Amino acid sequence: MQSGRDYTKIALSEDDGSCRDINFVAPDPLRLMDFLENLLPQFGVVRGRTWSGDEFSGAGPNGAYVYYQSTGNVRLVLGAGRGLISDLQVFLFREKDGSLFIELTFFPEAIQGDRSVERFVELVARWKSILRAEKVYSRYECASWDLEHGDTDDVFWVG
């Protein structure tokens, strides 16, 4: 696994056509609503989609939370962001064991202003804290989700 400040800076700056993913390890499902209430107001456009791509109404924090509770999966497409990231996709998925899987996806060109590692780490650390996740890692889209046994060469930040 390559990591560290220099590799993270490259990953945030390199417009290579691939997206970047932020994954949370063991987020607390009871904190999902708090996370959505923190995240969604940062974006002017919030669209909810089913796993098959159909749009659903009421994609704000309450609507997204209720939809996740009833279906076990949600995709949110966020745009017109007022913070570090202008466009973000949020994937919420209930694993077979009932645990919550969260993946946030963005392209480097969606980073607004200074692409500093510190701004990125601060933002992701805040989300990790809200979710009370054990760990968070950021990766190029093709890197392994399995930090323990998979190919982690494209994981660029672990916190």
Helices 117-131 and 5-13 cross at an angle (nearest 10°) of: 100
Residue range of the domain that includes 132: 5-158
What contacts 43, CB < 8 A, 6 or more positions away? Answer: 78, 79, 80, 81, 82, 88
pTM above 0.75, yes or no: yes
Domain count, the chain: 1
d(CA 89, CA 4): 25
13-68 pLDDT tens trace: 888 888 999 999 999 999 999 999 999 999 999 999 988 888 988 889 999 999 99
Res 149: pLDDT: 46
d(CA 134, CA 128): 8
